[in-house]
């Protein structure tokens, strides 16, 4: 089983949501159907990045890192071309 750390971008206000899950397709559908209170107001979302891990703890740690100040900076570096196109 894989665990995924992912980044969504709101098409409404271009904000980001960072999370982790063991079922990426299901979780993405939940976000876009309004089942998540944290993201409900900003739907629809598109998936702009994800990473797969073999261990839940590794995925959770990556999520926490990406939510930190250094993590947010690394997102800008990782997705530099994506942000230029937008």
Residue 40 and residue 34 in contact, taking contact as beta carbons nearer than 8 Å: yes
Q: Give me the residue label for tokens 């979780």.
A: 27
d(CA 12, CA 30): 17
Sorted by where each starts, the structural domains of the chain and their CATH numbers stand as 3-85 (3.40.1440)
Q: What is the pLDDT along the chain (86 residues), one digit of tens a residue?
A: 999 999 999 999 999 999 999 999 999 999 999 998 889 999 999 999 999 999 999 999 999 999 999 999 999 999 999 988 75
Q: Tokens in use for 44?
A: 């629809």
Q: Tokens in use for 4?
A: 């995924």
Strand order of the sheet with strand 3-10? 16-21, 3-10, 45-53
Q: Which helix (H) or strand (E) holds 10?
A: strand 3-10
């Amino acid at each position: 089983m894989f665990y995924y750390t992912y980044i969504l971008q709101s098409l409404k206000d271009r904000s980001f949501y960072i999370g982790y899950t063991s079922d990426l397709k299901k979780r993405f559908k939940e976000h876009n159907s309004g089942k998540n209170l944290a993201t409900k107001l900003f739907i629809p979302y598109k998936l702009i990045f994800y990473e797969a891990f073999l261990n839940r703890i590794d995925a959770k740690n990556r999520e926490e890192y990406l939510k930190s100040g250094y993590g947010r900076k690394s997102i800008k570096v990782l997705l530099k071309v994506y942000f230029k196109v937008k």
